[in-house]
C-alpha cells in the first residue's frame, strides 16, 4: 500500500513538473485550458490586427509589449506571425468578460464579446509571456516565446474585489497604483478603498478643510511612526488614481466609515459628536487604542439625532460621488458603540419623540438617512453586516458586505439584501 501511495505521489509531482515546464500557470485558473505543442515566437516582423475593435481597446498591453520587446508591432493584416484581436458579440461565452485565446506557432488569436473580455485575455497573455515582460528595462536578447495553448475563460463572479485600508496605514499614490497593476494582472475588477476610520481621514473634502488638518491625518509624534504612514490624498490625486484604475478595468468603491470609526471627523468638527469626548486630540495607530481608551472602540460617534450630521454627510457624499464614477459608495456602519447613545439624555429624548424603540432601531434610522443621501447622488449604498441588527427596518436598496464570515451573508440574502 505504501508503495502504491508513493507511486501516486511521484506521478502527481511528475505531472506538476511537466505542467510547470510547459509555462502554463495562469491565475486565476481558466475555465478551460488545453496545452498544445510548440510555441509562438514574437520577433521584429510580428504584427497586430484588429477586427470589430481597435488598438485603444488593448492599448495598455500593446504599449507594454512594444516597450519591453523593442519591436514595432505595426497594425496590419497578415496570415501568420501576428496577434489578432477580434470582437464577436455572438461568441459562445456565458458573460461579456469572457474570451477565447489560442496560441500556435503561427500566432495568437483572441476573441471576446466585449472590450472587457479583450482586456482579460491580454492579462492571461501577459502571464504566458516570459517574466521579463513585467520588468522595467529588459534586455533586447530575450526570446519572447509564448507556449501553444487554447483557453476559454470567463469569471464566475462579477464582483472580484480587493480592499485597501489606507486609514490605518496610509499608502501614497505610487504604491496604490502598484496594487492596481497586480489586481489587473489577476483580473480583479473592484478596488474597495477604505479612506476613513479612527486612524485617519485620508481624502480632501473642499467644503470641510479641517478634515485634512494635521491632527486628523498625521500620527502624533509620540507614536514614533514612519512619516509615510501618514497623509491624505488631494482630489487631483484621487482623480489620477480613478483614471488609472479605469484603464485597468477596475472600479473603485470608496468607503467613508460612519457613524462609528469617526475619530478624526469628530476632532476636526467636535459639534458632530454625540458627546464631548475628544481625548486624545490627535490620531494614533490602532494598537494604541487600548492605552488611550481601554479598548479598541471609539468613545464618541457621530450624533444620529442632529440634522447638522446629515447636512455634513450630504455635503461629503456629494464630493465623493463626483470623484468616483462607480455605482457604489460604502458608508461603513460597523462597530458602533450604542452604549454611548444610551447614556445621552438628548438622544433618549429624540428616540421618544420619534418613537424609536431602542438604539438598534436608532442605528437603522441613521442608516436609512445615510442610504437616502447616497441614493440621491445616483449611487448604491453599501454597509457592513453590523447594520443587519435591525434588518426589518433597513432599506432593501442597501447592500451588505460581511467582515464576520459567511453566516452574515446568508442572513443578508435571506432577508432580501444584495450581499
The SS3 of residue 48 is strand
Q: How many CB atoms lie within 10 A of CB 127?
A: 17
Query: What residues contact 209, with CB distance under 8 A and at least 6 apart?
Result: none
d(CA 124, CA 128): 6
d(CA 113, CA 121): 11
Is 204 designated active site?
no
Q: Which three cell numbers stand for residue 166?
A: 489606507
- 3-state SS track over 339-359: HHHHCCHHHHHHHHHCCCCCH
Choice among 237, 335, 344, 415 that is catalytic = 335
- Could you tell me how far CA 234 lies from the centroid of its own chain? 19
The single-letter DSSP state of residue 213 is S
Q: Which three cell numbers stand for residue 372?
A: 437616502
Is 335 designated active site?
yes
Per the CB < 8 A criterion, the answer to whether 270 and 278 are in contact is yes
Residue 257: burial class (beta carbons within 10 Å; 0-12, 13-18, 19+): buried
Choice among 97, 116, 165, 197 that is catalytic = 197
Choice among 102, 192, 204, 261 that is catalytic = 261
Is 88 designated active site?
no
Beta bridge partners of 100: 111, 152
Per the CB < 8 A criterion, the answer to whether 189 and 249 are in contact is yes
> Which residues form the catalytic set?
197, 261, 335
Amino acid at each position: 500500500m505504501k508503495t502504491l501511495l508513493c507511486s501516486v505521489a511521484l506521478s502527481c509531482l511528475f505531472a506538476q513538473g511537466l505542467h510547470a515546464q510547459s509555462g502554463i500557470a495562469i491565475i486565476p485558473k481558466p475555465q478551460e485550458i488545453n496545452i498544445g505543442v510548440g510555441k509562438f515566437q514574437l520577433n521584429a516582423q510580428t504584427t497586430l490586427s484588429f477586427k470589430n475593435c481597435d488598438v485603444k481597446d488593448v492599448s495598455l498591453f500593446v504599449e507594454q509589449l512594444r516597450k519591453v520587446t523593442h519591436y514595432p508591432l505595426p497594425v496590419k493584416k497578415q496570415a501568420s506571425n501576428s496577434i489578432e484581436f477580434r470582437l464577436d458579440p455572438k461568441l459562445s461565452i456565458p458573460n461579456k468578460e469572457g474570451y477565447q485565446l489560442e496560441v500556435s506557432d503561427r500566432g495568437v488569436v483572441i476573441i471576446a464579446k466585449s472590450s472587457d473580455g479583450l482586456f482579460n485575455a491580454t492579462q492571461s497573455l501577459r502571464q504566458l509571456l516570459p517574466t521579463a515582460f513585467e520588468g522595467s528595462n529588459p534586455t533586447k536578447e530575450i526570446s519572447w516565446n509564448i507556449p501553444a495553448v487554447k483557453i476559454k475563460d470567463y469569471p464566475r463572479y462579477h464582483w472580484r474585489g480587493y480592499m485597501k485600508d489606507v486609514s490605518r496605514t496610509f499608502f501614497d499614490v505610487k504604491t496604490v497604483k502598484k496594487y492596481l497593476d497586480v489586481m489587473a494582472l489577476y483580473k480583479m475588477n473592484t478596488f474597495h478603498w477604505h479612506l476613513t476610520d479612527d486612524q485617519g481621514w485620508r481624502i480632501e473634502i473642499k467644503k470641510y478643510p479641517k478634515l485634512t488638518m494635521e491632527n486628523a491625518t498625521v500620527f502624533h509624534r509620540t507614536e514614533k511612526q514612519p512619516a509615510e504612514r501618514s497623509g491624505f490624498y488631494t482630489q487631483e490625486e484621487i482623480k489620477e488614481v480613478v483614471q488609472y484604475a479605469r484603464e485597468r478595468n477596475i472600479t473603485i468603491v470608496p468607503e467613508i466609515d460612519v457613524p462609528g470609526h469617526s475619530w478624526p471627523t469628530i476632532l476636526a468638527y467636535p459639534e458632530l459628536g454625540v458627546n464631548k469626548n475628544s481625548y486624545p486630540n490627535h490620531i494614533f495607530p490602532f494598537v494604541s487604542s487600548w492605552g488611550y481608551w481601554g479598548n479598541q472602540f471609539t468613545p464618541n460617534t457621530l450624533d444620529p439625532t442632529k440634522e447638522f450630521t446629515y447636512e455634513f454627510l450630504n455635503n461629503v457624499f456629494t464630493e465623493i460621488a463626483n470623484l468616483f464614477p462607480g455605482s457604489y459608495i460604502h458608508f461603513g456602519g460597523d462597530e458602533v458603540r450604542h452604549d454611548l447613545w444610551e447614556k445621552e439624555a438628548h438622544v433618549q429624548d429624540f428616540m421618544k419623540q420619534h418613537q424609536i424603540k431602542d438604539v438598534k432601531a436608532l442605528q437603522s434610522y441613521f442608516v436609512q438617512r445615510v442610504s437616502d443621501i447616497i441614493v440621491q447622488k445616483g449611487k448604491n449604498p453599501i454597509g457592513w453586516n453590523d447594520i443587519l441588527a435591525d434588518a426589518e427596518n433597513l432599506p432593501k436598496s442597501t447592500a451588505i458586505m460581511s467582515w464576520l464570515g459567511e453566516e452574515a451573508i446568508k442572513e443578508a440574502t435571506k432577508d432580501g439584501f444584495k450581499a
